[in-house]
Each structure stands twice: as structure tokens, then as C-alpha cells.
Amino acid sequence: MRRISIFGATGSIGQNTLDLVRRDKKSYKIVALTGGRNIAQLVRDAREFHPDVVVTAFPELLPALKEGVSGLKIEAAAGGLAICEAADRPADWIMSAIVGIAGLAPSLNAVRQGATLALANKESLVTAGPLLLAQAAEHGAVVLPVDSEHSAVFQALLGEDIASVERIIITASGGAFRDWPQADLAHATPAQAQTHPNWLMGRRITIDSASMFNKAMELIETKEFFCIDEAKIETIIHPESLIHAIVGFNDGGMMAHVGAPDMRHAIGFALNHPKRQHLDVARLDFTTIGQFRFFAADEARYPALRLAREVMCKGHLWGAAFNAAKEVALDRFIVSDIGFLDMAQVVEAVLRELDHVGDLNTVSRDLQDILQVDQATRELARTLDV
């Protein structure tokens, strides 16, 4: 029986993971489930899957969590430290699906115990890619990408030599505002931004899809995970979201990964790796799809892409600063403190400001280095006027 833990169990990725586990419960022993504010969901999942421990990130919610699992042999805990301790509990496979920088510490703990890390939390790679992968190598942990684009690249590269890769093309749906005139974007509201044309995802990543900050993060993720030169990484808009990524090789051949926009493909691939096992998810009928469309992703319309390229070139601690600035800009947009287009302006202004400081051009030695940059950048991004 495989021991598994799910960090961010109550979210979109977490629930899709549990949906796959539910279909084959006898094969898994759940060690830990963690969540944030959705205690009702966490309690429901705890009652169904009987983990050893359930953790909420928020200590004030611990009494409700304890009450929800009372009478069951399940420990309940709360807070960031308790989440990290849960990631230290021996497990064979760990899903990292907390949203934001809060997912980094448990990702690091997971690889330090040598578990297979299924990595949905893109912030782990964007803020600390080299550190995470070095720790994984040191402790014999396998890291499997769960972001659909990176899972697609990973699958296209199976049996291939990375040195023969000429280009990696990450596709983008274009998000909620793909067909909006540029002039209307300044007035786009959070409610309008949090509807995705193809994917059903958490609120933050959905808004990031509309602004292309999600794609920007994915470009950085690609560079970090596959250790590939930024000049070889491209993005194009593909409205159907059926081709998730394309890898071009030095003999002119290209491998495209095609699948329905359903995260259970990528999660299931990571769960069953290195085998492929039957997954009861939608199959595509090419005769009804009819066509695949592609458009250039205009960096003038989507400044997030230009900023990501700059961050990829700079490397070091710039990913941590980029992510923190982006998270604060998103928070400010959600509460209508700034407009939709201002998010990129905040991030760009923060990066310009940090250019003068100049101490981000150093290798991140540990989590503390990254969290320091994260905190300092957040303070800056909160106060910047645009």
C-alpha cells in the first residue's frame, strides 16, 4: 500500500487528486491532508480517507477542525509549522498543491525525506528551483511536474536527450480576456477575470491566466525544471487548450502532447509514474474538435511574459521577487485597490526598484534566503503607487 500525503487537499488540485485516490482506495494509505480555511471540506475528506493527521494553515480554525474529526483516530493540528511537520511524516508520494509561496516549505521537506514529490505548486520552482532540485538530488527524491504543460514536456522528453532539444513551446489558452479589445482591459473586474474558458481551477491561478502571469510563471518553471536556456522557451496562444506543450528537437521533429483540459491527466500520470495505468477521464474525438488554432502571444499586450523573460535571464533570487510582487499585485487587484493592467505595472516597478538594490544576484542557499526576499518584495509591492 502506498503512503501518500496531499498538501492543499481542499483546493482544486487537491480535490482532483482525492478523486483519483477515491477510485482505488485500497491501494493507498493517507498520511496527511492539509487545507486552509475550508474546514468543512477538510473534515469531509478526513472522515472519508482517514489520514493520520489533518492540518489547517490557520490556528484560529483548529477548534472547528478538532471538533470535526472528534471521535476518529485522526490527529488535528494547525499553522505553518504543523504543515511542515506533516511533510516530514514518512510518505512515498506527496502532492504539493498549496497555492502561493506557502507551498515552498512543505515541498522542500517532502524532497528531504526522499519522497516522490508531485509538484503542482509552481511557486516552489519559480522561487527556489535550483535549491529544490539540488535537495531532491541529494536525498534521492523524484520530482514530477503536475502543471499540465510541464507534465506534457516531461512526457514528450521520455527517452530523449535534453541536449537534442531546440525549443519548448508552452501553450496558453489566453484566459478570460483573450478576445477582449486591449482598451477594455483597464476596466476588467476581478469577477470577470476569474472565469476561465477551458480549465476549472482555483481563483488565483484563474486570474493569473487572464493576466498571463500564470504563463509567465510557467516559462520560469520550464527553465528551472528542465534546466534549459530561456532562449529555447516559447509560448503561443492555443485557444482550445488541447495541446499542452510541444517539444522541438534538433532533427526538426516535434512532439506535441494532446489531451483534454482535465488536471486528472497530469495528476494521474504523476500518481502512477513510472507506469501508465488506465485513467477514467475524457478521451478526445479529433473529428469533433476539427481544428487546433494558434496565435502569437503579444508581449506588448501581455507584459507579464516580457517580465518573465527578464527574470529568467537574471536567475538567482529574481524568481522569488517576481513571485512575491505578482502575489501582492494580485491581492491588490482582488480587493480593487489597483486595476487589471496595473498588476503588471506593480511587478515591473518592483523589479526596477530592486535593480538598484542589486543583492538578488546571489545563489539561494536555503529557504531563509528566499523568504527574506519574499518579505522585502511584498513590503515594496504593497506600498508602490501606480
Q: How many CB atoms lie within 10 A of CB 94?
A: 28
Opening angle at CA 323, ends 363 and 111, nearest 5: 60
Contact 180, 261 (CB under 8 A): no
Stretch that binds ligand NDP, among 43-51, 92-100, 304-312, 342-350 (CB under 6 A): 92-100
Minimum distance from residue 106 beta carbon to ligand NDP (Å): 8
- For residue 141, state whether it binds ligand NDP (rule: CB under 6 A): no
Cβ distance to ligand NDP smaller for residue 78 or 307: 78
Q: Which residues on neighbouring strands pair with residue 295, listed in sequence order?
A: 237
Here the cell at position 305 is 511574459
- Regarding 205 and contact with ligand NDP (CB under 6 A), the answer is yes
Question: Least separation, in Å, of the C-beta of 207 and ligand NDP?
Answer: 11
User: Does 342 participate in binding ligand NDP (rule CB under 6 A)?
Assistant: no
Residue number, 12 or 349, with CB nearest to ligand NDP: 12
Binding of ligand NDP at residue 123 (CB under 6 A)?
Answer: yes
Specify the stretch interacting with ligand NDP by CB under 6 A; choose among 167-175, 203-211, 246-254, 289-297: 203-211
Of 32, 35, 111, 271, the one binding ligand NDP (CB under 6 A) is: 35
Among 99, 136, 330, 343, binds ligand NDP (CB under 6 A): 99
Contact 242, 284 (CB under 8 A): yes
CB of 84 to ligand NDP, least distance (A): 10
Q: Is 120 in the site for ligand NDP (CB under 6 A)?
A: yes
User: How many residues bind to ligand NDP according to rule CB under 6 A?
Assistant: 30
SS3 assignment for the chain: CEEEEEECCCCHHHHHHHHHHHCCHHHEEEEEEEECCCHHHHHHHHHHHCCCEEEECCHHHHHHHHHHCCCCCCEEEECHHHHHHHHHCCCCEEEECCCCHHHHHHHHHHHHCCCEEEECCHHHHHHHHHHHHHHHHHHCCCEEECCHHHHHHHHHCCCCCHHHEEEEEEEECCCCCCCCCHHHHCCCCHHHHCCCCCCCCCHHHHHHHHHCHHHHHHHHHHHHHHCCCHHHEEEEECCCCCEEEEEEECCCCEEEEECCCCHHHHHHHHHHCCCCCCCCCCCCCHHHHCCCCCEECCCCCCHHHHHHHHHHHHCCCHHHHHHHHHHHHHHHHHCCCCCCCHHHHHHHHHHHHHHHHCCCCCCCCCHHHHHHHHHHHHHHHHHCCC
Residue 248 in the binding site for ligand NDP (CB under 6 A) = no
Interface stretch with ligand NDP, choices 5-13, 59-67, 250-258, 293-301 (CB under 6 A): 5-13
**Nearer Cβ to ligand NDP, position 21 or 83?**
83
Of 3-11, 85-93, 314-322, 375-383, the window that binds ligand NDP (rule: CB under 6 A) is: 3-11
Asked if 151 is part of the footprint of ligand NDP (rule: CB under 6 A), the reply reads no
Q: Decide if residue 378 touches ligand NDP (CB under 6 A).
A: no
Q: What are phi and psi of 270, to 5 degrees?
A: -70, -35
Side chain identity at 226, as an amino acid letter? Answer: F
The nearest distance, CB 241 to ligand NDP, in angstroms, is 11
Q: How far is the CB of 14 from ligand NDP (least distance, A)?
A: 5
Closest approach, Cβ 329 to ligand NDP, in A, equals 15
145 binds ligand NDP (CB under 6 A): no
348 lies in the site for ligand NDP, by CB under 6 A: no
Does 98 bind ligand NDP (CB under 6 A)? Our answer is yes
**Binding of ligand NDP by 107 (CB under 6 A):** no
Pick the piece of the chain touching ligand NDP (CB under 6 A) from 25-33, 99-107, 248-256, 313-321. 99-107
Query: Which residues contact ligand NDP (rule: CB under 6 A)?
Result: 8-14, 35-38, 57, 83, 97-99, 102-103, 120-123, 147, 199, 201-205, 263
